[in-house]
Structure 1
């Protein structure tokens, strides 16, 4: 078992596999986008729809970063509840961000329908599950804040949550009917296909190696090509590479790993998540679980599979699966993989003003809806020369102290938790 993208379930079951060439030679465009995840692909699509010439370059293949390793929960809002967002951004900016992100799942599922993206879309909602009786206090707080701003969420008591999940390990849940699940890699690649069909030029295996600015023009070099553009979007998020002439904004890298069962038999599917909601829990070291279209149970938790202690993560997964569903205690778990999450100290996404371009990062594990929304708005703001449409005001600088130490703290905490929990 490896944690490489190709070994993961999403790569193996992806129904969207467009081929994009390497960038060779010199090209010009109105907009260059660096990064082929949700943000970059949504930006390229929007730019093409607005009639601009757009070029997207991706260092590997589309979705090779966090977008192709995602859990696949298309959530409304951020991890932070509305009042915490307002405390960090101010009431006016925070409320506007919450309002925009409330519509992000609708935007995602509308794009999927419009462009016939084959990504196993299930717009049946999500369940934020209380992992213990104390977890209900957190859900009650979130429910109160979300309903106060008009969100159609429902607080489920334990009995109802057990029926909806099929697990007696949950102690209640917060149901959000706006959300749902997707095959995350297929969604990213489907967005890229849609962008190309709209006129954008997409290039894979084309990492940016150098960036410079001469007057109003951006110059971007790749191993076999170069391009010039008036506008630039940096959409590399947690998978940024070193680029000459560009200082990558610091983030706290947090890792998340997953694995999947074989397709479950019909009788189990009648009980386990019968309405196909995606789930995650209130534990400090979070877990998630969901079904894919073939009936596999995909389960995951915080942590990386690339260090000496990763065996503790792997050994915890079957224990967690058995704790949730005792009938699956002997089920084999396959296709182990992990990915990086870009977290900021405030757990809020950031936009940096590059003077003729923007860098966007820091979704803190909520990349699908926010990434789609931010990408489209970034392109619109640049091409209209009006930043008023941006979800958050752009900042002129960004600093983050001890990012490496903070990342080590999260990974150590997750490893120790998985050493002792669910035994």
Structure 2
């Protein structure tokens, strides 16, 4: 099998490369992190005519954005009523509404800037992995219909026809959603931002970021930035930045395995409509195909040996015709998951924000949060943000919670047959 992360790198039609930061710049906005959030923010800020610099410690899309499943979902992992119960009705519906429209933002940017990321807006399927999962989907369906969402509840037979597998007991079909090649999307956003005038630097980790004299001063090993505003968009891949304190959040690893491209004689009945899927299990799994006809199966966990064994068994269970399919890639990425599964916008100082905690929903929320954060920081008005910023955030027992998810995934996948 290939090294971690290589499928999307191997198949990306978008290329991007940037130099390391050398020298000094004075700008309107500095962004730390070159994933969906940071690149969407850079594109928005540059499009507004602002002077913006984005610095990435590795390369664009190196973190969770380049290791994503590639599902462009509407909304969060949580049901919308739970969002309202946690945040309050008004704030909850504000966030629900913003993220319900998020796929429009993603696919709109793809079209506008010609991002070659294999966009396919054929919807997603939330699959009932067991009979009890049907009740979960029924409740989600009621909540979404109440909000006029274009969702349809499918029975077992309809689900079998759409997935090509009899392993599922029903599904919730959402026409707003779709799939993309995630690393290509991140690179395409960076390319578009650069084309709008943003300066982007790779392999340039921030060593310090302090507020001094009414400005942010950010230093790297080769340069210095002076900025009116700062956005930290590093999420699960945050590296220490001097004395800046970003709260620790539980992390979940998500493993994926991809087959070699399959001919129609083998795979014509597997997800024939091209939907992306995830299931209702606590230790969640994902399923999709890519533009080359690979079948890609994912699940929580990072032990490649255990996960690869589980994935091979799971593929054969779902699709017996894939029992002997060649596997070309296996990789994993980190997900930042707050205790209540809601993202956070944290104030890190005057004119400074940090965004984290998408709980595995990075593409569409990251795009919306990045765009809105850029606008808020440039004009000094937080009212249009999808979520009210907080001055502090603390998580208890982060290491224990991370270990709980990893151990649970390992145990489930070791015994799954």
The equivalent residue for 1:268 is 266
Q: Do residues 376 (structure 1) and 374 (structure 2) align?
A: no
CA deviation map 1:279-309 (0-9, x unaligned): 111111111110000000011100013xxxx
The structural deviation recorded for 1:3 is 4.8
CA distance in 2, matches of 1:60, 1:232: 19
The structural deviation recorded for 1:150 is 1.2
The equivalent residue for 1:63 is 61
The equivalent residue for 2:212 is 214
SS of match in other structure, 1:352? strand
CA distance in 2, matches of 1:337, 1:224: 32
CA distance in 2, matches of 1:143, 1:372: 25
CA deviation map 1:222-253 (0-9, x unaligned): 11111110000000000000110211221111
Q: Do residues 396 (structure 1) and 391 (structure 2) align?
A: yes
CA distance in 2, matches of 1:3, 1:83: 40
1:362-373 maps to which residues of 2 (within 5 A)? 362-373=357-368
The equivalent residue for 1:284 is 282
SS of match in other structure, 1:264? coil
Show structure 1 runs of 5+ residues with no match: none
Stretch deviating more after TM superposition (262-271 or 321-330): 262-271
CA distance in 2, matches of 1:39, 1:55: 14
Show structure 2 runs of 5+ residues with no match: none
The equivalent residue for 1:49 is 47
Contact preservation (8 Å) 2:21, 2:220: yes
The equivalent residue for 1:10 is 8
Q: Hey, which bits of structure 1, 4+ residues long, moved more than 6 A? A: none
CA deviation map 1:350-392 (0-9, x unaligned): 0011221100000000000000000000000111111001010
Q: Which of residues 290, 308, 311 is equivalent to 2:305?
A: 311
Q: Which of residues 90, 108, 130 is equivalent to 1:110?
A: 108
Q: What is the aligned length?
A: 416
1:162-241 maps to which residues of 2 (within 5 A)? 162-241=160-239
**CA shift in 2, pair 1:16/1:274, >3 Å:** same
SS of match in other structure, 2:331? strand
The structural deviation recorded for 1:420 is 0.8
Contact preservation (8 Å) 2:79, 2:143: yes
1:241-260 maps to which residues of 2 (within 5 A)? 241-260=239-258
Q: Return the TM-score normalized by structure 1.
A: 0.97
The structural deviation recorded for 1:268 is 3.3
The equivalent residue for 1:351 is 345
Q: Do residues 386 (structure 1) and 381 (structure 2) align?
A: yes
SS of match in other structure, 1:44? helix
